[in-house]
Amino acid sequence: GFAKTVANRVIFMDKGEIIEENVPDLFFSNPQSERAKEFLGKIL
């Protein structure tokens, strides 16, 4: 995806709060927060 290609960090926010920050490969392959897992499950 686009973010994996162009970004060197991904910051995932929910309601204005940073929930998770990681390099794209790890964020998309192994999200740590339940909220990120839920979100990625819906869009990927």
Tokens 């740590």 -> residue = 32
What are the tokens at 37?
């897992």
Give me the long-range contacts of 16-19 (CB less than 8 A, separation at least 24): none
* Angle (nearest 5°) at CA 4 between 28 and 10: 65
Cβ–Cβ under 8 Å, residues 6 and 33: no
pLDDT digits (tens, 9 = 90+) for 1-44: 888 889 999 999 999 999 999 999 999 999 999 999 999 999 98
Predicted local distance difference test score (pLDDT) of residue 5: 87
Residue 3 phi/psi, 5-degree rounding, is -65, -40
Q: 42 in helix, strand or coil?
A: helix
Q: Where are the domains of the chain?
A: 2-43
